[in-house]
Structure 1
């Protein structure tokens, strides 16, 4: 199906009536066809491709599974590591408010203010994947092995994440090497909660989800509201994902419309004044790496050059679902794509979503 309508205002007060999602009589037929092709290419049980172009949304859904009881575009999907963009924006907001500088040593925040070494791991190191931490704690695999195909992270609670960080001794000086780390972003979440004296669910809800009007975004599953994930075969269902002690690294689940609202705020930061400074900040390059420094990162996004300007994106996956988020300020376009199957090799999902946004 296709729905095209003007985007809702993200900063509505709690008692305001949200705008109705009214279909436009003349949808962009070319975009409609391209989204349909993308859904077919992904070939997953449940798939949604949602595009916002200058505030006008077009959504195409489909899948190999029978239609669920509720429209696919109204279900919440696990977005995995794409949720790190929320964590990066949260850190940017706390810095913009003057509550943090980003240079605070994470160890001091998590270890009762005890003195740190001369080159500590800072909050900025954690969000930019330059902390020197591995992708996951060294003892994670042994604990997660019995549930590796279902909920491996659920077996590793927050206290253990913090303890593993406090025991870790980086081999390289923080800030000198980029290495993608779920461990590092999970530690950042616990450090931000400690710095503000606010539990992570309350912190991200109060500072981000509320101001942005993301009422259909949550950290935990809720029966009847969430899409079902599947393994590679597209038939075997997997349990709802439990991020355990890694909520800042990948616990969020959201509807495609909430994801578009999130992306539209990045395209037009002025639409959400409380977050405007942070939304501008996470579009600024903070790190370049690789041959010729071709790989550019912000505090929340991968950033690729296009002819008219940069493309920002991040993907994510859980054991049974996948997500891709991206936006292009030069074309006023945002894309949120989700699907209910996890590939592990020769994955068409991310490539299809990225190419769709790059060609807009």
Structure 2
């Protein structure tokens, strides 16, 4: 998607430039819009490369999950499947079930909302991942191994009773959607989400220098290779330009103007509450926080060398997509600065 409709506003530019500096990374891009008028600002501690920072693709990591959730909502809308479908019924129709019946009770909605009772990653994931933990921990764990691990798993809690963030669960969801429709996850996401929303600069695999941004470790100097996601595509494979990412979140503010209006509406509705006083609200795909004027929706993501933040606020008509090429450890100025732009928009 081309960078059209950019906004020229001194105050907005100043706020975004302040956020770029606070994010403290070799390369940073903040793309912001209010009522459809866009402002995009770039910067970083490293010299600019031959390709402008705002035209490169960045790794979304876990911020890929709203794309997978929207795909699920669209497949449910079309009648291809139901959110209440048990995953096992699609992945292994002849499965005999587990001791407590918990595995058979896991639905597609449980998987996307992190309430399936699954751990963050499969038990046998860590041994193969540890030697590559700071570069590509997922690369050696292929799709068929994810499915096998799921069919062998024994959920610790009855599905739907506890929230526990799980890349494993969302990865299983992707393979389940593929099995249920006899279509690969890549084809599903491209055909059902990316193409209808006009996201032509969004990809699911790295293409190399000149197209993809280069990530860095926490020292902001040591580069890391592009993410290879193995069997966890639906949990973290999306890479996109700031303009395409902004278009994705803007679609949630004006769903009627898209071919996915009903699905976009579905992913805004709260589906669970957790935490002290049930203050933490989640939709099918988004973290939803309250503000004085209305809810704020967001999701963040991190890979070995990059971070991403996408979000929007219907009450202020604001949308944000931010990226940096550094993996922060400990205190995270990137997420703090990005969140503040939505919480208190310029």
- The answer for the alignment partner of 2:175 in structure 1 is 190
The verdict on how the C-alpha distance between 1:23 and 1:130 changes in structure 2, with shifts beyond 3 A counting, is closer
Of 248, 253, 260 in structure 1, the residue corresponding to residue 239 of structure 2 is 253
Are 2:62 and 1:81 equivalent residues in the alignment?
Answer: yes
- The answer for the alignment partner of 2:53 in structure 1 is 72
Of 11, 35, 51 in structure 2, the residue corresponding to residue 30 of structure 1 is 11
* 1:172 match: secondary structure: coil
Structure 1 unmatched ranges of 5 or more? 1-7, 9-17
Q: CA deviation at 1:114?
A: 3.6
Runs of 4+ aligned structure 1 residues displaced above 6 Å come to none
Q: Figure out how many residues of one structure are paired with residues of the other and give that number.
A: 340
Are 2:284 and 1:299 equivalent residues in the alignment?
Answer: yes
Are 2:44 and 1:59 equivalent residues in the alignment?
Answer: no
Q: Check conservation: 1:108, 1:115, Cα contact below 8 A.
A: no
Structure 2 unmatched ranges of 5 or more? none
Alignment of 1:160-199 (within 5 A): 160-199=145-184
1:164-214 deviations in Å (ceiling 9; x for gaps) = 000001121100000000000000000000001001111100000000000
Q: Check conservation: 1:77, 1:255, Cα contact below 8 A.
A: yes
- 1:333 and 1:23 map into 2 onto residues whose CA distance is 14
Q: Check conservation: 2:5, 2:38, Cα contact below 8 A.
A: no
TM-score (norm 2): 0.96
Alignment of 1:1-360 (within 5 A): 21=4, 27-114=8-95, 116=97, 118-119=101-102, 120-223=105-208, 224-272=210-258, 274-360=259-345
* 2:260 match: secondary structure: helix
- 2:130 and 2:156 map into 1 onto residues whose CA distance is 26
1:68-124 deviations in Å (ceiling 9; x for gaps) = 111100000001000000011110111111111111111121114545465511100
1:144-171 deviations in Å (ceiling 9; x for gaps) = 0111111010011111000000000112
- 1:356 and 1:65 map into 2 onto residues whose CA distance is 23
* 1:82 match: secondary structure: helix
Q: CA deviation at 1:52?
A: 0.9
* 1:59 match: secondary structure: strand
The verdict on how the C-alpha distance between 1:23 and 1:96 changes in structure 2, with shifts beyond 3 A counting, is closer
Q: Check conservation: 1:108, 1:116, Cα contact below 8 A.
A: no
Q: Check conservation: 1:320, 1:340, Cα contact below 8 A.
A: yes
Q: Check conservation: 1:269, 1:275, Cα contact below 8 A.
A: yes
TM-score (norm 1): 0.92
Q: CA deviation at 1:350?
A: 0.4
